[in-house]
Structure 1
């Protein structure tokens, strides 16, 4: 087994500077929040369902993820606050729908990676 740690300190200035510049142009907090949201299994299931259905009411979503209405509503509010879903009330029902097509793209990319396909 090899020791996978540098044995000496050697900073590659150009690469470090380039990486820091790219990070300045990235809202890493928002982006990491998005991936944190996607890392929760129930939230992922919700986004997956909404990626393929035009809209689902809270009751439908709760049934799909196998959670209580209260827990489901909490997840949906978190997703809405992040701006990846939106809602509308029709009569006595609240319907949620995906408000960002990039989430569908991320889900599809994740599914491709899971199946062994690699980005080219």
Structure 2
């Protein structure tokens, strides 16, 4: 039972992180392609530092990952589970 409670708390934290519209929009953008911070910021009409902060939260939650190419970091979804979760949620609200 304790393990179940721990998993429920982790799931609640995951949904809390995805409950932020800015972070959810970033995840939605990353469903299509990997992107660098500048491109995400430009697409969303936000500052680079604000996007970097949100990406850090998503990275800490293991929802996104990045690779470096020179000084540029390209972000993508961490795995297929993240994509499935977001797509299922979008299907649910559209239903």
After alignment, is 98-107 or 72-81 more displaced?
Answer: 98-107
Give, in whole Å, the separation in 2 of the partners of 1:86 and 1:108.
18
Higher relative contact order by CA 8 Å / sep ≥ 6: 1 or 2?
Answer: 2
Partner of 2:80: 101
User: Which of structures 1 and 2 has the bigger CA Rg?
Assistant: 1
- After TM superposition, list the pairs within 5 Å mapping 1:1-120 onto structure 2: 21=1, 24-26=3-5, 27-53=7-33, 55-116=34-95
In structure 1, list runs of 5 or more residues that go unmatched: 1-20
Spell out, residue by residue over 1:58-92, the C-alpha distance to the aligned partner (whole angstroms, 9 max, x if none): 01111222211000000001100111111121112
Return the TM-score normalized by structure 1: 0.71
Where does structure 1 differ by over 2 angstroms across 4 or more consecutive aligned residues?
23-26
SS in 1 for 2:90: helix
How large is the RMSD of aligned CA atoms in angstroms? 1.5
Name whichever structure is richer in helix by fraction: 2
